[in-house]
């Protein structure tokens, strides 16, 4: 029974060495085979973008889509694992940028799934355009997304429950205004873990944006880092697999589970923000 401590062996079509399959490729649309993460959770993204599939008793949940041109690859990976894409009941989103959410509209059309988002992402996903106060707004304007139908907006700390699996939204607006991290329980071989899909901790921007000119954005970014630092986090996933050495970890080349993983992840983001602010001060 899903949600119990029943074993969940990888399906035959799940790669046991996704790191080797991708090799040096880390492009957002570079095809990757599907891989088993833990329990009933699977990697169905590309070599450079994480897309997560969660199996429940009542259907499938997909987190993120990759860019628009990766949607077909995500669907192929779902099928390769033996699942029918029509079994995807819900799609969730980490943040409202084209490299992670650009294929959501296509996946909704292909699967019939509903879209649930965190408390501040709905406007950008419905319009297909970034928020004007996003530090990357000038860059993102060059890459509009197909508008997606948002069916549910979850509050901070709210949950989507499907087939006995509870997936909780955590507003973590470090990388973007609508950034959301997600946590859920995964059980396998008598071991139950909390998986944290922690959103990006990178505070990057368009060329002409200065964080030091927007102290409220800095405060918001820091608040998001504090939330990610405190996430229940036995097993960390990140939107770019390189952000947590994920492909190597899924391939047995590094520990899948690491104590204090979310703490270290947030600390690295905090250090990068501090260095960015120092560079801006030095450039004045």
Looking at the annotation, which residues are catalytic?
95, 97, 99-100, 175, 209, 240
Which spans in the chain are helix H? 18-22, 71-80, 98-101, 104-111, 122-127, 137-140, 215-229, 246-250, 261-283
Residue with tokens 């997909």: 62
Q: Are 60 and 84 in contact (CB under 8 A)?
A: no
Tokens read off for 228: 């990610």
- Maximal C-alpha separation, the chain: 60
Tokens read off for 93: 């989103």
CA 73/CA 155 separation, integer angstroms: 31
CA 92/CA 231 separation, integer angstroms: 18
Burial classification of residue 237, based on how many CB atoms lie within 10 Å of its CB (0-12 exposed, 13-18 middle, 19 or more buried): buried
Q: Are 100 and 239 in contact (CB under 8 A)?
A: yes
CA 244/CA 96 separation, integer angstroms: 20
CA 107/CA 93 separation, integer angstroms: 12
Local structure of residue 48 (DSSP, 8 states) = S
Buried b or exposed e, range 3-42, using 16+ CB within 10 angstroms:
beeeebeeeeebbeebbebbeeebebbbbbbbbbbbbbbb
């Amino acid at each position: 029974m899903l949600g119990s401590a029943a074993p969940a062996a990888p399906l035959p079509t799940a790669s046991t060495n996704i790191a080797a399959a991708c090799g040096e490729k880390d492009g957002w649309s570079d095809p990757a085979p599907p891989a088993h993460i833990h329990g009933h959770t699977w990697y169905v993204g590309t070599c450079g973008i994480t897309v997560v599939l969660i199996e429940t008793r009542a259907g499938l949940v997909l987190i993120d889509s990759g860019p628009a041109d990766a949607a077909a690859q995500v669907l192929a990976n779902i099928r390769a694992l033996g699942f029918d894409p029509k079994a995807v009941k819900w799609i969730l989103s980490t943040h409202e940028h084209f490299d992670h959410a650009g294929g959501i509209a296509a996946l909704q059309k292909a699967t019939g799934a509903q879209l649930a988002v965190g408390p501040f992402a709905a406007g950008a996903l419905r319009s297909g355009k970034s928020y004007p106060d996003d530090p990357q707004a000038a860059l993102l304007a060059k890459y509009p997304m197909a508008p997606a139908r948002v069916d549910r907006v979850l509050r901070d700390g709210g949950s989507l429950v499907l087939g006995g699996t509870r997936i909780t939204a955590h507003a973590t607006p470090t990388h973007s205004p609508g950034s959301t991290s997600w946590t859920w329980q995964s059980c396998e071989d008598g071991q139950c873990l909390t998986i944290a899909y922690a959103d990006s901790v990178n505070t990057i921007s368009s060329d002409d944006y200065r964080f030091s000119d927007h102290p409220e954005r800095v405060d918001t970014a820091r608040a998001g880092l504090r939330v990610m630092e405190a996430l229940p986090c036995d097993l960390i996933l990140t939107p770019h697999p390189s952000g947590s050495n994920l492909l190597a970890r899924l391939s047995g080349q590094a520990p899948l589970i690491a104590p204090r993983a979310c703490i270290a992840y947030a600390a690295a983001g905090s250090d990068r923000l501090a260095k960015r602010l120092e560079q801006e001060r030095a450039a004045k």
